[in-house]
Amino acid sequence: MSSTKMLVCALVVVCVSMRHGLAAPAPQEDGPPTPYEYKYDVEDPEKTLYFGANESGDAQGKVVGGYRVLLPDGRLMNVEYTVEGESGFVPKITFENNANPFGQGK
């Protein structure tokens, strides 16, 4: 077999492989959202690190959560939020001055 024929055969194999490899996945039916929940906290008084988050979502798609972080200026920033339907991310942000959250186990 000549090298030209081999090259053409190789190109055909590559093109066919790429076409099958790049095919769109089969559509999946959307069902109701799966309820979930998570939480984490990080406290390291020696390094002045304090932050954490929590969130939960229900079967109707409503999400409620929050996160907090001790800022370098000593304030504690708290963000509580909800997401429901088409509302998007709706936060409520508060600050606590001269916060000392260590050992309080928020």
Contacts of 94 (CB under 8 A, 6+ apart): 77, 78, 80
Total number of domains constituting the chain: 1
Contact 54, 38 (CB under 8 A): yes
Convert the pLDDT of each residue in 1-51 to its tens digit. Answer: 566 766 666 667 666 666 655 566 777 778 889 999 999 999 999 998 999
Q: Is residue 86 part of a domain?
A: yes
Q: Is residue 79 part of a domain?
A: yes
Domain extent for 48:
36-96
pLDDT at 93: 98
pTM value is: 0.66
pLDDT tops 80 at residue 91: yes
Convert the pLDDT of each residue in 52-81 to its tens digit. Answer: 999 999 999 999 999 999 999 999 999 999
